[in-house]
Amino acid sequence: MTFPRPPKPCWRELFSNSGFPFYFAAMFVSLFGTGMNFAGVTLYVLAKTHSTVQVSLTVILLTLPRLLVPPLGGVLTDRVDRRYLSIILDLGRAAIVAAAASLAWRGGLELWQLYGMVLLLGVGFAIYWSTSLALLQEVIPPPQLVTANSAVLIAVQGGMLAAGALVGFVYERTGLAGILAIDGATYVLSALCFYLLRRGYFAPQVSSSPALFSSSDFGARHAAREFGVLADLR
């Protein structure tokens, strides 16, 4: 029994789309910074507290917003230009990380401040992820979306992999302050890539716009019925 072979992805055609190279670069550098941040914070907390429980707390604070924020974040994504929203989220996370880096550089960073940073970054990432994927559908023609999603996963995993390969060397020489400074710089660079992606304000095209909390309530009820939706947020 034979099955039809799936069509081969045409990478050259994909990257010939105006704006997609900037999108790919934005995702790569943003996730590179996220990977550096996560690994650096993990090393710092473990070295400071010698407690795996405290390290687990940082993971909880980072991942919990991915379960709680999407019902509201998705509504925001459907009402604001997704490129501008991605830029704001990148610059907002850059400001948060820069403040933490400044405290770490002066030796005044407390654990509760670090945990607060992790929580805010988790909230930002929960909105950023859905927003950036929705933006991809505006940049790429529908026939190329499968290939485009594969390319995005390459950018995401490549950025995280590169971060994992370098974070130990950077942490040893610069400490947490250097890691956070690099993370903040990657967010700024990602925002610049999104800015160059296209020009003008493009509000999402939606057929109907129910009230904010009505949409959020619908999303929450759907997630409660479909447990697979929550599994996809991990």
Q: What pLDDT sits at residue 224? A: 65
pLDDT digits (tens, 9 = 90+) for 214-228: 555 655 665 566 655
Does residue 194 fall inside a structural domain?
yes
Q: What is the pLDDT of residues 140-154, one digit of tens each?
A: 998 899 899 999 999
* Per-residue model confidence as pLDDT tens digits over 15-37: 988 899 999 999 999 999 999 99
The mean per-residue pLDDT over the stretch 39-43 comes to: 95
**Which domain does 71 fall in, by range?**
18-198
Tell whether 168 is covered by a domain: yes
Q: Which CATH number characterizes residue 62's domain?
A: 1.20.1250.20
Q: Is the pLDDT of residue 209 over 70?
A: no
Distance CA 185, CA 179 (A): 10
- Going by the DSSP 8-state scheme, the letter that residue 200 receives in this structure is S
Q: How far is it, in rounded angstroms, from Cα 148 to Cα 23? A: 10
Count CB atoms within 10 A of the CB of residue 9. 14
- What total number of domains does the chain contain? 1
Torsion sign across C-alpha atoms 180, 182, 187, 191:
positive
In a domain, 185, yes or no: yes
